[in-house]
Structure 1
């Protein structure tokens, strides 16, 4: 017997909040998302979770720097035929003009055996990210930096204990007008892409709700590689591994 399909749970209010620690769940969820991405990524790429409570919870996808020159031609990632995904993302909810950073004044120190190059990131919003204006601004600045560098981004917010919508705050910071979701729980994906010589920002947004299944979101790596992030499958796996049961869950024999 196994648990049937269940929807999103409320990890931030009783009864679940007093039975399980939300940060342990988010930690495990980030790990299983990374594991799922590693099953899909071609050779030379890897995903790993980075969990720092009070700052961020994210999953990052990297490309090995030693393989960069052999994998990239004309800024397009060339993938082996066997690694191509049959899954095709839906059209973006909206495409908006976008101005990535074109000038910078900085001093960078690199080791000759430099580490991996960041290609994409998934941010699982924590209560601390939404807690106060300074924390929200820090989160927004980080996401804006990713996009200005052309890094694909997915934001997932299942925090029911705070009312801020970081996705909409990010769009305001980017001066992008979009129909609001009218919800505090959401998943959003972003892709910076050149069309006819002009940079654009493709945006996918999905409203989330407690007791409803989570969507599949597109994660765009720099280049043309897009991976499906099956939030529901990884979420259910996390529930199973964390031994979280729901009284109302349907039992399938």
Structure 2
């Protein structure tokens, strides 16, 4: 299914789709895609800037002693993700923040986050700063992150959120070469001794590719964004689907 132009409708319509999409991804991950010992949960971040997210945890193994699950997913060295762009970022001077996500108080360790960007994350500079600081803080704590941004850059992220995240990580102002004809961004970050970013860009009406979600810096699974997007989109009311799919400008 092609990606739709969500700028045609008000924020609340995308929010309703957003909260339907996350459970579809959760269902897919927990229905055999994740290796044994991992599970995904949709959670709500406390705060006005980052709403529902999908978190990936490991469960205590060996009788609850907190040992990490065995290897699972695809080995990065043997089969790298098929994204067209791969970047290595050497992080410098990261500032730790405490409000990255709701964590379990048990030994269920937070491994990764899936963030579906909403218009509210980008509608003012403060919100962009909050969102990108959250991603950088997660990576600083060795939590891997996949962001899905189906909205074109605006005045607060003129070359996209990925550029701002890169700049925060590397401590530079180096510009990012965002393709003009493919302004939407999917970016998966693996946090190890450094940060590796696997990035895809697309345009409205392009299909969503699978994107890697890292379990460890050297292992990942592919998240089926397109099939889960389709399942969630079927729940959008017909009135709003007609506006979203209209060939005329909204």
Alignment TM class, shorter chain as reference: 0.7 to 0.9
Q: TM-score, normalising length from structure 1?
A: 0.74
Q: CA deviation at 1:166?
A: 1.4
Q: CA deviation at 1:188?
A: 0.6
Q: How does 1:154-169 map to 2 (within 5 A)?
A: 154-160=146-152, 162-163=154-155, 164=157, 165-169=160-164
Residue 64 of structure 1 is matched in structure 2 by: 59
Cα pair distance change 1:59/1:144, threshold 3 Å: same
Q: How does 1:1-253 map to 2 (within 5 A)?
A: 6-13=1-8, 17=9, 21-39=13-31, 40-51=33-44, 54-56=48-50, 57-65=52-60, 69=65, 71-72=67-68, 77-79=69-71, 84=73, 89-90=81-82, 93-99=86-92, 114-160=106-152, 162-163=154-155, 164=157, 165-175=160-170, 177=174, 179-183=176-180, 184-193=183-192, 199-222=193-216, 224-242=218-236
Task: Compare 164-173 and 50-59 and name the one that shifted more.
Answer: 50-59
Cα pair distance change 1:225/1:71, threshold 3 Å: farther
> What is the RMSD computed on CA atoms of the aligned residues?
3.3
Query: Per the alignment, in what secondary structure is the counterpart of residue 21 of structure 1?
Result: helix
Cα pair distance change 1:100/1:41, threshold 3 Å: farther
Cα pair distance change 1:147/1:235, threshold 3 Å: same
| Segments of 4+ moved more than 4 angstroms | 66-71, 83-88, 160-163, 176-179, 243-249
Over alpha carbons, which structure has the higher Rg?
Answer: 1
Task: Compare 134-143 and 55-64 and name the one that shifted more.
Answer: 55-64
Query: Per the alignment, in what secondary structure is the counterpart of residue 190 of structure 1?
Result: strand
Query: Per the alignment, in what secondary structure is the counterpart of residue 7 of structure 2?
Result: coil
Cα pair distance change 1:236/1:100, threshold 3 Å: farther
Cα pair distance change 1:201/1:131, threshold 3 Å: same
Give the number of aligned pairs. Answer: 221
- Structure 1 stretches lacking a partner, 5+ long: 1-5, 107-112, 194-198
Q: CA deviation at 1:121?
A: 0.5
Q: TM-score, normalising length from structure 2?
A: 0.74
- Structure 2 stretches lacking a partner, 5+ long: 99-104
Residue 102 of structure 2 is matched in structure 1 by: none
Task: Compare 164-173 and 36-45 and name the one that shifted more.
Answer: 36-45
Q: CA deviation at 1:41?
A: 1.4
Query: Per the alignment, in what secondary structure is the counterpart of residue 233 of structure 2?
Result: helix
Q: CA deviation at 1:54?
A: 3.8
